[in-house]
Structure 1
């Protein structure tokens, strides 16, 4: 009985979050109000407040579901190599956002203007943990250059660096400072140069080539 109730709650939650995306696509984040969302999703306003707390909670939940979709995408086609898996995480991020830019552009613009949005930090923690998992495997496999005696590569710090680097470029796209094509090019450049700074031998050269900073003589 409880299981059935949980399923109904999850179905309602998904319908609400679908409506969130539709409303933002229609009129931006400002168009999203709790009353308008309740009407679109066919639920009571009180239900929204009970499930999400407030409008900001709704947006955080929408971003969180985007990360759920990203994880499912990665699980469906897992990369065998941890460095390729790291690349795949950011490719999946771009695929998720690029599939619906009318929604994600205003969402990231809001995130930029409200960096202290309650609950968003937990979403960032989850994403960084996904990246760090693969970087840690690569480190154990000896894929990175040797550090000074008594020191090891902090893969958690590296994961946060890569995430922060990508988010800063995303924010520039969100406010219209760069195009989507420019975002993807800059994002690839930043990721590959960061990896090239740490990878060994041929893998370092491969990362430099992928970054786009090399050319034929």
Structure 2
């Protein structure tokens, strides 16, 4: 009986944790500029403030938990796509940000540990996708795909912060992120695929 009871206890804890994070998202959507407190989250989730602290932690840990959920969802979406390319990684990441704009903007603005957005970052998936493109011969064999991914990610983070500040809209956010990727791919293209990878830039009238 002990394993069953332990499993049930863990299930209830997981369900309360889900309820707490959903309550956090609802509070943020309703009052985008309000102070996020453990007490308000607990009241909305129907639990004690101590439960919020014990299951998740202080406010910074709440941002971290929301970021973890973001990455879980991104990995799920990319997994459904199968062998996704770098465009899929960039597009899926941007689409996930804009799908819940209030929560995304607060997360990026206020979580001090966000760094390149998250500790678990789409940069990992982008590195993998670019390395796959190199192994497939789309990119030159001498290209440092980790470095290339970092350059693209830096440009995408710049576009993200412009979007967070409401300087650009959703469509421009996606367009700028994909443009940064297209420039990097064209610069790193292997000769047989150069014209193919230059096409998106030519279509934009930038080449």
What is the TM-score with the length of structure 2 in the denominator?
0.85
Aligned pair count?
Answer: 202
Counterparts in 2 of 1:21-170, with a 5 A limit?
21-28=25-32, 30-79=34-83, 85-111=85-111, 117-118=112-113, 123-147=118-142, 153-170=143-160
Deviations 1:119-146 (A, max 9, x none): 7679344422222122222223332124
Displacement of 1:172 = 0.8
Bigger drift between 118-127 and 66-75 goes to 118-127
Secondary structure of the corresponding residue to residue 123 of structure 1: coil
Secondary structure at the aligned position of 1:190 is classed as: helix
8 Å CA contact retained: 2:93, 2:122: no
**CA 215–125 in structure 1, closer or farther in 2 if over 3 Å, else same:** closer
Alpha-carbon RMSD: 2.4
- Say whether residues 1:191 and 2:148 are aligned partners: no
Q: Contact 2:71–2:120 at 8 Å: present in 1 too?
A: no
1:213 equivalent to 2:201? Answer no
Shift of 1:88: 0.7
Contact 1:29 1:107 in 2 (8 A): no
Q: Distance between the aligned counterparts of 1:27 and 1:62, measured in 2?
A: 17
Shift of 1:155: 2.2
Task: Quote the Cα distance in structure 1 between the aligned partners of 2:206 and 2:179.
Answer: 14
3-state SS of the aligned residue for 2:140? Answer: coil
Residue pair 1:23, 1:31 contacting (<8 A) in 2 also: no
Which segments of 5 or more consecutive residues in structure 1 lack a partner in the other structure?
A: 112-116, 148-152
> For residues 195 and 125 of structure 1, what CA distance do their matches in structure 2 show?
24
Contact 1:52 1:58 in 2 (8 A): yes
Could you tell me how far apart the structure 1 residues matched to 2:157 and 2:139 are?
Answer: 24
